[in-house]
Structure formats: structure tokens, C-alpha cells
Amino acid sequence: MNYGNIKYYDIANGEGVRTTLFVSGCTHHCKGCFQPETWDFNYGQEFTVDTVYEIVKSLEPDYIAGLTVLGGEPFEPENQKALVGLLRTVKERYPAKTIWCYTGYTYETDILSEDGKAHCEATSDMLKYIDVLVDGEFIEAKKDISLRFRGSSNQRIIELK
């Protein structure tokens, strides 16, 4: 897996001050996407053990509320397989910190359903560690800048824990 960026001290993608990982690779190709360069699975840098270490270390201060993963698309099956270890490590090391994840897939049909587009052998583990899931493709015609933590009105904020 590759990633496009890591933002430290992010306040736009979840509650509180967060570390945010932007993964590469997305098959949705939403019109009006704010990061179309991350559609390419080869965009950015390789996600390595050192990347995991940097992210985990960045979460150490008490004022960091947690980790947010977005993209690209974290729930592309190949990305799930790479991310599940990071999410497990974060939850084990910092159980009080929250993990937010943004996906263009729909929770019930694409992720939970065993025949869903995004369901794979890593999905159940991914979901165990995520506290808040923001689901649904960005739809430019439903764009609403007044919404907190989402770009279009069809997207939902789902508390998994």
C-alpha cells in the first residue's frame, strides 16, 4: 500500500486534534473529489513499518485525540490488509484514543455484507478497531459546506463503538 500524506495536528477530519493518514488507491472516482491524485494506488510513498512507527509515536501526546484514516479509499481490500495492523497497534497502545475512518463505500451493503464490494478477510478486524465511520461517496450535487466532518449530505457519521 502507498499513502499520499500524513497530517499531524489535523482538526478537520474528526473530533479533536488528530493524526490523519491519507491512503492511496480509490476506485470510486467521485466527481469533485478533493484529492483525485490519491485514486492511483501507486501515488505517494510506500507504507512501511517506519510509517507505522511514526504514526504511533505522533499519537503519544495527551492532546492528540486519535487517528483518522481516509484517502483514497481505506476500505479497498488491498488497503484494508495493510491498515489492519496499524489500527490494532493504535488501539492496543492507546485504547482511549479514537479511530475515525472515511469511506466511499456504504456500511451495510458494501462493508458488512459478506458479498459486499469492500468486504474481504480483513474487514471484520478493521471494523473492530474503528470508533467512527463516515460512509458514502462524495456527491458533488449534495455538497454542503455547513456539515461537520463530511462533504455531502448523503454521507453518514456512524458510531461503531
Domain that holds residue 136: 2-159
Give me the percent of the chain exceeding a pLDDT of 70: 100
Identity of residue 139: I
The three-state DSSP-derived secondary structure of 38-52 is: HHCCCCCEECCHHHH
What digits encode the pLDDT tens for the residues 22-64? Answer: 999 999 998 888 889 999 999 999 999 999 999 999 999 999 9
Q: What total number of domains does the chain contain?
A: 1
What's 59's DSSP letter?
T
Q: Name the grid cell of 120.
A: 474481504
User: Which CATH number goes with the domain that contains 153?
Assistant: 3.20.20.70
pLDDT tens per residue, range 70-106: 999 999 999 999 999 999 999 999 999 999 999 999 9
Predicted local distance difference test score (pLDDT) of residue 125: 96
Find all residues with CB under 8 Å of 78, minimum gap 6, and list them: 1, 25, 41
- Cβ proximity of 106 and 155 under 8 Å: no
Does the pLDDT at position 161 exceed 80? no
pTM: 0.95
Rounded Cα gap, residues 50 and 46, in angstroms = 10
Sheet of strand 64-70: strand arrangement? 45-46, 2-10, 17-23, 64-70, 98-102, 132-135, 156-159
